[in-house]
Amino acid sequence: MKTRIVSDSSCDIWNLDEVDFASVPLTISTDERTFIDDENLDVQEMVDYLAHYNSRSHTACPSIDAWLTAFGDADELYVVALTSGLSGTYNSALNAKEMYLETHPDAKVLVIDSLSTSAEQLLIIEKIEELIKLGKSFEEISVAVKDYQQKTHLFFCLKSLHNFAQNGRVPKILAQAVGVLGLNIIGKASESGTVEPIAKCRGQQSIVNTVIAEMKKLNFAGGKVNIAHSHNQKLAEALAESLGKHFPEIQTKIYPTRGLCAYYAEDGALLIGFEG
């Protein structure tokens, strides 16, 4: 029996150690170029190009066909999608499931709306991987993942919401308030999977302190933490180090974002997924 976990490129990983995995790319485009967020994308080259590009850019969710290709011919599929609150990715995955079942009537396909992205989406993927390794059934995993999602969260620290506003995914007025030099917005994925601002701050120490204080408010007590960063290993390490002082047993993973999150989160951002 073939079991596979499938996600989209906003999950920021390429593969898993223990379970078969595939990810479908979103795309980032201008009038001149299209960047497919797959293994051939040079994220830094895209970011540099966009920094000097003065006109509009936009993104698009994966097609149904792209999902179907990633499904391969697996018997059991766990599909973890970018939040439906901001993207058509989840809907496209649901449509792909319907088509897949026409040609694979005995397959089992669970499509999960992460109501989040990046580092929290990865926590969900890793939980599924862990449960598969433990030999849990499809039905058991379906229930357990729903429960797990109740206790995971995503925080982010962004310097700009320009690309969010340009794509109509946050109000312009919010983006203007953040677009002040040196100011960072700390926010979280809301219950409905949209951008929810929490605080504004300036400087590394203030960011780290604010993020940790907010994590504690959501009952963080030393569980797993994933930190994805857009060109900001230094801030990610500062946060991990400070978390380590509060919680000596903590497991923190630090890694760079792929293209889609680099585009929306923009340069210098952190995306923090954690268990509350």
Residue 7: CB minimum distance to ligand X90, A = 13
Residue 122: CB minimum distance to ligand X90, A = 12
Residue 192: CB minimum distance to ligand X90, A = 9
Residue 260: CB minimum distance to ligand X90, A = 6
**Site residues (CB under 6 A) for ligand X90?**
10, 26, 59-61, 83, 86-89, 116-118, 154, 156, 169, 189, 193, 195, 261, 264-265, 271
Residue whose CB is less far from ligand X90, 19 or 125: 125
Residue 92: CB minimum distance to ligand X90, A = 9
**What HEC string does the chain produce?**
CCEEEEEEHHHCCCCCCCCEEEEECCEEECCCCEEECCCCCCHHHHHHHHHCCCCCCEEECCCHHHHHHHHCCCCEEEEEECCCCCCCHHHHHHHHHHHHHHHCCCCEEEEEECCCCHHHHHHHHHHHHHHHHCCCCHHHHHHHHHHHHHHEEEEEEECCCHHHHHCCCCCHHHHHHHCCCCCEEEEEECCCCCEEEEEEECCHHHHHHHHHHHHHHCCCCCCCEEEEECCCHHHHHHHHHHHHHHCCCCCEEEEECCHHHHHHHCCCCEEEEEEC
Instruction: Report the residue number whose CB is nearest to ligand X90.
Output: 87
Residue 119: CB minimum distance to ligand X90, A = 9
Residue whose CB is less far from ligand X90, 108 or 159: 159
Residue whose CB is less far from ligand X90, 74 or 85: 85
Residue whose CB is less far from ligand X90, 197 or 244: 197
Residue whose CB is less far from ligand X90, 88 or 276: 88
Residue whose CB is less far from ligand X90, 169 or 253: 169
